[in-house]
């Protein structure tokens, strides 16, 4: 902007102001989202109440309708594992809020024969073949890294114009994540 001002280029100044405004708006939304989810809590029993709370917060923040569908009865997830799953879901919802221009979001949870969690939207979608998007899809990389730490698989299915599905499939023997600190590993 300084260069555009020095050149006396009002069109470039307006363009840069628009970019700054957009960046600030997105940053404000990200900070609000972090504060909303800062104290994510899990239960030693059932993840469903935490999922309902997460979707309620998402609906309030985004103005979008979100539907939860639970299928099957599985063993409860350990609280540490629940927290990691919730963080992946929250990141997927954040991506919907920021990028999808969706009108509806579905959270589908299958507990048997193994845990499978899908966040699906009816938004714009995107090409999963575009390798240059790696630099812009930070949220996707974060979700993949979390899933890998859990020994889980994360699949992103998207088609331009047809929405996106983020599918987290936990291993059959879902365990809490391995601690990153050596002292924590010894204590486990």
Map out the domains of the chain as residue ranges.
1-38, 45-176
The distance from CA 56 to its chain's CA centroid, rounded to whole angstroms, is: 15
The predicted-structure confidence for 87-140, as pLDDT tens digits, reads as follows 999 999 999 999 999 999 999 999 988 999 999 999 999 988 765 555 557 888
Taking the domain 45-176, which CATH number applies?
3.30.565.10
Taking the C-alpha atoms of 125, 69, 83 and 128 in order, what is their torsion angle to the nearest 10 degrees? -20
pTM score, two decimals?
0.71
Residues 108, 121: Cα–Cα separation, whole Å:
11
The predicted-structure confidence for 154-166, as pLDDT tens digits, reads as follows 999 999 999 999 9
β-pairing, 164-169 vs 104-110, is: unpaired
Residues 92, 163: Cα–Cα separation, whole Å:
13
The distance from CA 2 to its chain's CA centroid, rounded to whole angstroms, is: 36
Task: Please provide the size of the chain in residues.
Answer: 188
């Amino acid at each position: 902007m300084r260069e555009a001002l020095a050149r006396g280029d009002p069109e470039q100044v307006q363009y840069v102001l628009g970019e700054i405004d957009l960046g600030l708006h997105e940053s404000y939304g990200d900070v609000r989202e972090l504060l909303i989810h800062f104290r994510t809590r899990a239960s030693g029993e059932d993840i469903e109440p935490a999922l309902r709370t997460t979707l309620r917060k998402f609906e309030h923040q985004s103005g979008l309708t979100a539907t939860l569908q639970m299928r099957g009865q599985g063993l409860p997830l350990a609280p540490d594992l629940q927290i990691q799953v919730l963080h992946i879901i929250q990141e997927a919802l954040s991506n919907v809020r920021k990028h999808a221009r969706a009108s509806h979001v579905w959270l589908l949870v299958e507990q048997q024969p193994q845990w499978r969690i899908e966040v699906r939207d009816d938004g714009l979608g995107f090409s999963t073949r575009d390798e240059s998007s790696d630099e812009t899809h930070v949220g996707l990389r974060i979700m993949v890294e979390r899933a890998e730490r859990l020994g889980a698989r994360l699949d992103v299915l998207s088609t331009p114009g047809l929405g996106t599905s983020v599918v987290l499939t936990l291993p059959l023997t879902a365990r809490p994540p391995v601690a990153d600190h050596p002292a924590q590993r010894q204590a486990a």
